[in-house]
Amino acid sequence: MTVLHVRHRTEYRYRRPVRLGEHRLMSRPRDSHDLRLLDTNLTVFPAPSETRWMHDVFGNSIAVSQFADETDHLVFDSSFRAEHYPLPPQTIWIEPYALTLPFSYDAADILDLGCTKERQHPDEEHLIDAWSRGILEESTDRNTLDVVIAMAKAIKRGFAYRYREEAGVQSPEQTLRLASGSCRDFAVFMMEAVRSIGLAARFVSGYLYDEKMIGASGGLVGSGSTHAWVQVYLPGAGWVEFDPTNALIGGHNLIRIAVARDARQAAPLVGSFTGAADDFISMQVSVEVTAE
C-alpha cells in the first residue's frame, strides 16, 4: 500500500476578458477496494458563482462550475490524498468457463455490459479485426488473460508514443496505420481490438506514477499530465486495468478517476467561453504525484 498525494492544475489564459460558460471537471477518484480516498480539495479562480457536484451515468464524480464575471484567465487546482492498493497480475482469477477464447458472457452480465461490448468506430477494411486475429492466432491455447496481455504488450512494443495537445482521439484505423499515437489513442485502439474478439471494454482516465521513485529525495513519484488506459471485463475478476502505453496490468502504477464507454465521456475538464476565436491564448496542465 502506498499513500499518494495528487495535484492536478489546469490554467487557461485569454487575450482579453471573456465570459465563461459552464465547466465540468473530473478529478476526484471513487473509494474502492484498490483505492481509499483520504481527503480532497478543489480551488477555482476566479471563484465560481456556483459549483455543484453530480454523478454521471457511469457513477463518475463531476464538479460543475458556473461563472458570473468576465476574466482573462481561469485556474482549476484540484488535489487529493489516497491509499493505493494495486492488484498484481498473478491474482487475476477468471471463471473456468471464460479461461479460453471464445466464450459467451453469463446472461446476467450481458444486459448490464451493454454497449461496452459494441464497436464504437468503423473498421471498413477490417484492419483492427486482422490485427486482433493475428494476436489471437499466436496464442496456442487461446488463454483469455494471456491474449489480452499480449495485446497490451504488442501496442507497447510496436507503436511509438506521441504526445498530442489537441483534444479528441485518432480513429483506431489511423493509429494502426501510423503505428503511433497518444495514450488516449492507444486506449481507444485496444478497446476496439478486445471488442472485436467479443470482450467488453471501457475507457479510463486518471493518473500514472512511477513506483521506482518512491522513497527518492522529495518523494516525487510521477509528474506530467493526465493518463488514459482501458478496462476489460473478465468473468471472475471483473473490470481489470490494462495500460497499453506502458504494458501495465492490474492497475499497477495507475490511479483511476473516470471510466466511460467512450473516450469523449471521460474528458478531465471541458468548458466554453464567449468571445472571439483568437481570444484564447493557451492552456497549461500540470500533474504532480508524490508519496508520503
The mean per-residue pLDDT over the stretch 255-282 comes to: 94
At residue 266, the pLDDT reads 95
**Domain formed by 89-266, architecture:** Roll (3.10)
Band of pLDDT at residue 91, cut at 50, 70 and 90? confident
At residue 287, the pLDDT reads 92
CA distance 192 to 185: 11
Using alpha carbons only, what angle is made at residue 260 by residues 155 and 131, rounded to the nearest 5 degrees? 25
At residue 253, the pLDDT reads 85
At residue 1, the pLDDT reads 75
CA distance 229 to 243: 5
At residue 213, the pLDDT reads 63
At residue 292, the pLDDT reads 77
In this structure, the number of other CB atoms found within 10 A of the CB of residue 217 comes to: 6
CATH 3.10.620.30 domain range(s) in the chain: 89-266
CATH 2.60.40.2250 domain range(s) in the chain: 2-84+268-291
Using a pLDDT cut of 90, give the percent of the chain over it.
80
Query: CA of 50: how far to CAs of 21, 27, 66, 138, in Å?
Result: 12, 18, 5, 55
User: 2-84+268-291 adopts what CATH topology?
Assistant: Immunoglobulin-like (2.60.40)
Using a pLDDT cut of 70, give the percent of the chain over it.
94
Q: What is the average pLDDT score of the chain?
A: 92
The mean per-residue pLDDT over the stretch 77-102 comes to: 89
The mean per-residue pLDDT over the stretch 220-245 comes to: 87
How many residues make up the chain in this entry?
Answer: 292
**148: pLDDT strictly greater than 60:** yes
Band of pLDDT at residue 2, cut at 50, 70 and 90? confident
Query: CA of 31: how far to CAs of 21, 59, 85, in Å?
Result: 30, 12, 11
Tens of pLDDT, residues 111-132: 999 999 999 999 999 999 999 9
CA atoms within 13 A on the CB side of 88: 3
| Pair 290, 248: CB distance under 8 Å | no
**88: pLDDT strictly greater than 80:** no
